[in-house]
Amino acid sequence: MITKLATPGVYIDEISTIPPSVAEVDSAIPAFIGYTEIAKRYADGDLIMKAQKIADWSEFLHYYAAKNPEGQGIAPQEAADSVTIAISEKTDDGTVTGTTVDYEVTVATVPAKLKKYNLHYAVKHYFDNGGGACYIVPVNVHSDEGIDADELVLGLRLIAGYDEPTILCVPEMGTVNVAGYGSIVKEMTDQASNLKDRFALIDPQVVTPETPANPSGTIGADVLIIRNAAVGSVEVNRYAAAYYPTLETTYGYGFDLETVKVTSHKKATTGTPAPDYKDKTVASIGKGAALYGKIKDALKSAHVVLPPSGAIAGVYARVDNTKGVWKAPANEGLRNVVKPVVDISNREQENLNIDATTGKSINVIRTFPGFGTVVWGARTLNGNDNEWRYINVRRFFMVVEESIKKSIQWAVFEPNTASTWVKVKGMCDNYLYQKWQQGALAGAKPEEAYFVRVGLGKTMNAVDILEGRMIVEIGMAVARPAEFIILRFSHLMQTS
């Protein structure tokens, strides 16, 4: 409104009749905390204990990966003794006698010698599963000192000062001892519940592989470590979800062919003599040799085993972008996965999905014939709570709360009167109506899906207005997943 009319003339007064709108915040921007091979933005720009936002995998390789002679980012290089390579001369009659025609190569990793650092592969898994922009917090670079739980906790505290991240991932949390693992889980869940704008993905501390003597592994003991680490209250655990087990991926380890050696060579007793390659480096065989190609391919079959958080964060981002944050991030395929390390049956999952004692649900990753490896659970660690049982419900409320909170900032210090209330109610109504149209809210009509209340005698009294409080009440009926689909069949009796 024009407040001063002193000079004769024509004045224009533009009147805004459209309420302010709610700009929705990003729902899936994870922060990865861990160890990288290098951490430099420029030649002398140290990124250790600094949060850096990256847009894609090439940026990660640029800032955090070692480089080959051509300057390209490569995977972390493993020690020469972290793998064994056995060569057996294959002959035309299937034995080691006769005319030598080919080689058979067998590769096996030495787990105790492999690097425990896996942030590099976890971030790649995130991008390969549909992830977008994310934050990287390198707490330190690779060294002989190993992984320190206290450094990971410090990295988590650092990212707490950043507003944009919405998912917390610590892919190396499973490499520390049980006490250190507990401190990391507590830091993640406390941060998520205190800030209320992010969600914690909890990896298992240990996964016992299946063996002939122990075909089911030790699922119960593995899961108990997760549940014991999640010591927070139900209000804290509703901001986190745990996944089990670890995953055998399609990624190969970074072996340096200049240092990796052939550990055994079984030679044919007859036929054309062949060079003895025992204790020779793979590179010395020569790139043009057929044996060189066979060894190189066999080394790729030594697959990296990863915790699930990187792939799960990618699934969250993929589902949010294609279907909406209100869709449960479950029954979704995982890319670049060969199989889960442990095969979980329906009966074994019963005790993981529903925990009648503590309510700490564990989401499992399973393989089904014809469907591949899929996420087969959508519960928070507060799995017995009817309000916050499902991940998508918790995350959708987080997005709506954060979006409205930031979009309503303009109303601070505005007159606490009906004109302001109408604008606030209008912007919230418009936003929630769009969510209802998109299928995020249940209800045949908008009034059955949500409500927005604000005003004197509705949400405030005279004292609230005198003390400067404008109170807005919002209720939403969020669509919940069909976790249990029940099909009822009955015989229809013949009538003629």
Q: CATH no. for residue 168?
A: 3.40.50.11780
**Around Cβ 113, how many Cβ atoms within 10 Å?**
12
Residues 220, 165 share a domain? yes
Determine contact, residues 134/122, Cβ cutoff 8 Å: no
206 and 218 co-located in one domain = yes
**Structural domain contains residue 20:** no
What is the structure's pLDDT at 91? Answer: 67
C-alpha dihedral (172, 174, 175, 178), degrees to nearest 10? 140
The confidence score (pLDDT) of residue 53 equals: 96
Of 364, 392, 420, which marks where a domain is finished?
392
**What's the confidence (pLDDT) of residue 3?**
66
Asked whether residue 195 falls in the same domain as residue 326, the answer is yes
Last residue of a domain, one of 240, 274, 301: 301
Quick one: 495 and 478 in the same domain? yes
The answer to whether position 2 is within a domain reads no
DSSP secondary structure code for residue 271 in this structure: S
Query: Is 281 found in the same domain as 346?
Result: no
Phi/psi region, residue 370 (left: phi>0; alpha: psi -120 to 50; beta: rest), is left
Asked if residue 363 is part of any domain, the answer here is yes
Which residues in 92-192 belong to E strands, given as ranges? 100-109, 134-141, 167-169
Helix (H/G/I), strand (E/B), else coil: 337: strand
Q: How many domains, in total, are found in the chain?
A: 3
Residues 144, 165: Cα–Cα separation, whole Å? 31
In the chain the first and final C-alpha atoms are separated, in Å, by 81
Per-residue pLDDT at 4: 78
**Last residue of a domain, which of 392, 421, 445?**
392
The string of DSSP letters for 350-378 reads HHHH--TTT---EEEEEEETTTEEEEE--
Burial class (CB in 10 A: 0-12, 13-18, 19+), 164: middle
Residues 366 and 240 in one domain: yes
127: in domain: yes
Domain contains 196? yes
Please state, in angstroms and rounded to a whole number, the distance separating the CA atoms of residues 301 and 25. 41
Give the integer Cα–Cα distance in Å for 402 and 400. Answer: 6
Residues 214 and 326 placed together within one structural domain of the fold: yes
DSSP letter, residue 491: P
DSSP single-letter state for residue 460: B
Range of the domain at 495: 409-496
Are residues 425 and 493 both part of a single domain? yes
The answer on 437 and 329 residing in a single domain is no
Q: Among all chains, which residue has been given the structure tokens 């720009």?
A: 45
3-state SS class at 92: coil
Alpha helices in 160-212 (DSSP H): 178-195
What's the token pair of residue 376? 């087969």
- The percent helix, strand, coil of the chain (3-state, each to 5) is 30, 20, 45
* Per-residue model confidence (pLDDT) at position 45: 67
* Whether 88 and 223 share a structural domain: no
Q: Please check whether residue 22 lies inside any domain of the structure.
A: no
The answer to whether residue 5 is domain-embedded is: no
In whole angstroms, how far apart are CA 82 and each of 77, 188, 262, 299, 338?
10, 33, 12, 11, 22
Beta-strand pair 450-454/472-476: antiparallel
Q: Check whether the bond before 111 is cis (ω within 30° of 0).
A: no
Other CB atoms closer than 10 Å to residue 194's CB: what's the count? 12
Q: Are 213 and 262 in contact (CB under 8 A)?
A: no
Cα within 13 Å of Cα(132), Cβ side: 13
- 468 — phi, psi (to 5°)? 80, 20
* Length of the chain counted residue by residue: 496
Token pair 């401190």 is found at 183
Question: What's the rounded Cα separation, in Å, for the pair 381 and 253?
Answer: 33
Give the residue ranges of the chain where pLDDT is below 50.
Answer: none
Q: Tokens 């670049």 map to which residue?
A: 336
Report the distance separating Cα 472 and Cα 147, nearest Å.
Answer: 47
The rounded distance, in Å, linking the Cα atoms of 165 and 28 is 8
Residues 236 and 123 in one domain: yes
User: In whole angstroms, how far apart are CA 149 and each of 46, 184, 408?
Assistant: 21, 7, 39
Is residue 229 included in any domain, yes or no? yes
In terms of domains, do 236 and 369 share one? yes
